[in-house]
């Protein structure tokens, strides 16, 4: 099946910045997981963070969220210590806080804009 939705990722200091767009299907989620892990492996020698920008993202497909759980399991054992999620929808926040595999070893924060996210990560010294 062809991918639906898209993403961009980049590394800033000890932070992976993720921007998700549109509604993903499973194929997009699987490619994201593979690329995310490759980037994270370049950072895992020190504690690292992930900034997830979901302002332009919309996905309600359970298989996508199952893949997010798998990524969280992986990140738990690869030194991720912080995650900040930027979302401006109560539905997005609800979906992210649903029963799932948490980032057990990471401090997680939700915020409404990128300035707040960057300030938080800057105070932690990872961006």
Kindly give the confidence (pLDDT) of every residue in the chain, 127 residues in length, as a single tens digit, with 9 standing for 90 and above.
Answer: 899 999 999 999 999 999 999 999 999 999 999 999 999 999 999 999 999 999 998 777 778 888 888 999 999 999 999 999 998 777 666 666 665 556 788 998 999 999 999 999 999 999 8
pLDDT of residue 115: 95
pLDDT of residue 8: 98
Range list of H helices, 1-127: 26-41, 62-76, 90-97, 114-124
pLDDT of residue 66: 85
Say which CATH class 6-122 falls into. Answer: alpha beta
pTM value?
0.90
Q: Rounded distance, CA 124 to CA 127, Å? A: 8
Contact 8, 44 (CB under 8 A): no
18: three-class secondary structure by DSSP: strand
pLDDT of residue 95: 65
Token pair belonging to 118: 């960057």
pLDDT of residue 91: 66
pLDDT of residue 101: 59
Q: Rounded distance, CA 103 to CA 81, Å? A: 8
Residue boundaries of the structural domains of the chain: 6-122
């Amino acid at each position: 099946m062809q991918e639906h939705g898209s993403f961009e990722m980049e590394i800033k200091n000890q932070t992976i910045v993720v921007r998700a767009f549109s509604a993903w299907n499973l194929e997009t989620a699987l490619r994201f997981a593979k690329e995310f892990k490759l980037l994270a492996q370049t950072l895992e020698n020190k504690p690292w963070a992930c900034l997830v920008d979901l302002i332009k993202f919309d996905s309600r497909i359970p298989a996508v969220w199952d893949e997010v759980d798998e990524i969280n399991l992986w990140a738990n054992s690869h030194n991720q210590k912080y995650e900040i999620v930027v979302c401006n929808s109560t539905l997005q926040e609800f979906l992210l806080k649903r029963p799932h595999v948490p980032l057990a070893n990471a401090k997680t924060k939700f915020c409404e804009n990128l300035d707040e996210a960057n300030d938080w990560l800057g105070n932690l010294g990872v961006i």
